[in-house]
């Protein structure tokens, strides 16, 4: 009897903790901002991101990518544009290619150094992250993560673009588990693993022309995934424009 009452309490506490977590844990976005910063018709082409952020103030992380990385010399247009984002409350991540661990560790580390020297983003984004169960591969990312943290980048994001072996979960702070064209699933299985907060996971589906058509999918994914970006852009580089519906997307992520 006594035990039974405690069980009821325990279940109730679990239930309400889960509810509170789902309600209070905000959803942000990680945006691959792979368009050269410039003024077009009198407006900076990164400005729509700043406007959408100022309307909704959800956590926004922009991935900046000069030349498949930071490049070898400083580009003043990027310095200006990155400072513009920072001054307006948008977080930045510097792009580093890893080629599924095939890229030499020394070159990846050199990129981390150059991001620090040239542009000082807050975090680092490791693209083409391996997802296969292999201890050496996992250690490659753990070493890069430690290296970046040692250089005082406080956030790391890895992008396998698909589901990943759980051995990688602690290698970086956030893992992009989906980068594909067209309609996307609800990702409810990521809620089932309560060991990880939803900000452990991010998605960026592309080639979605109508936000109305994916409204339900966004709201469902929001329960389990902490960073969501979608775009109407497509083709070889689906990240070289911002979507026409950026404000609507942010409003869905906010509510």
- Positions in the binding site for ligand NAG (CB under 6 A): 51, 55, 99, 102, 122, 154-155, 247
CB atoms within 10 A of CB 60: 24
Tokens of residue 53, six digits = 């952020």
Which of 26/51 has CB closer to ligand NAG?
Answer: 51
In the complex with ligand NAG, the residue whose CB is nearer, 68 or 77, is: 68
CB of 60 to ligand NAG, least distance (A): 12
| Identity of the residue, 101 or 217, whose beta carbon is nearer to ligand NAG in the bound complex | 101
Find the shortest distance in angstroms from Cβ 161 to ligand NAG.
14
Q: Torsion angle of alpha carbons 208, 212, 213, 215, nearest 10°? A: 100
Nearest approach, Cβ of 183 to ligand NAG (angstroms)? 24
DSSP code at position 79: H
Of 74, 33, 29, the closest CA to residue 198 belongs to: 29
Least distance (Å) from ligand NAG to the CB of residue 10?
33
Strands 43-44 and 91-97: unpaired
Quote the least distance from Cβ 122 to ligand NAG, whole Å: 5
User: 105 CB contacts (<8 Å, ≥6 apart)?
Assistant: 140, 143, 144
- Alpha helices per DSSP H over 44-182: 47-56, 76-87, 105-118, 135-150
Compute the least distance from the CB of residue 155 to ligand NAG, in Å. 5
Bridge-based pairing state of the strands 39-40 and 43-44: antiparallel
From 29, 7, 11, select the one nearest 246 (Cα to Cα).
29
Comparing CB distances to ligand NAG, the nearer of 223 and 247 is: 247
Q: Pick between residue 94 and residue 184 the one whose CB is nearest to ligand NAG.
A: 94
Taking the least distance from each CB to ligand NAG, the nearer of 155 and 203 is: 155
Which residues, at least 6 apart from 169, have a Cβ–Cβ distance to it below 8 Å?
175, 196, 200
């Amino acid at each position: 009897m006594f035990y039974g009452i405690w069980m009821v309490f325990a279940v109730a506490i679990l239930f309400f903790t889960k509810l509170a977590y789902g309600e209070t844990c905000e959803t942000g976005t990680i945006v691959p901002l792979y368009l050269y910063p410039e003024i077009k018709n009198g407006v900076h082409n990164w400005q729509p991101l700043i406007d959408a952020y100022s309307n909704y103030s959800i956590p926004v992380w922009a991935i900046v990518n000069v030349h498949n990385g930071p490049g070898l010399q400083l580009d003043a247009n990027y310095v200006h544009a990155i400072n513009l984002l920072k001054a307006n409350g948008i977080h930045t991540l510097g792009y580093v290619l890893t080629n599924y661990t095939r890229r030499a560790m020394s070159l990846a580390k050199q990129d981390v150094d150059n991001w620090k020297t040239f542009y000082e983003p807050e975090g680092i984004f490791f693209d083409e992250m391996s997802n296969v169960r292999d201890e050496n591969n996992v250690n490659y990312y753990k070493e890069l993560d430690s290296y970046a943290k040692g250089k005082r980048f406080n956030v790391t994001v890895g992008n396998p673009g698909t589901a990943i072996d759980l051995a990688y979960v602690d290698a970086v702070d956030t893992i992009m588990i989906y980068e594909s064209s067209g309609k996307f699933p609800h990702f409810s299985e990521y809620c089932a693993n309560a060991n990880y907060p939803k900000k452990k996971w991010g998605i960026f589906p592309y080639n979605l022309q109508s936000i109305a058509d994916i409204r339900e999918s966004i709201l469902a994914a929001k329960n389990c995934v902490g960073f969501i970006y979608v775009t109407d852009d497509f083709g070889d580089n689906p990240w070289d424009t911002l979507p026409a519906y950026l404000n609507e997307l942010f409003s869905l992520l906010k509510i």
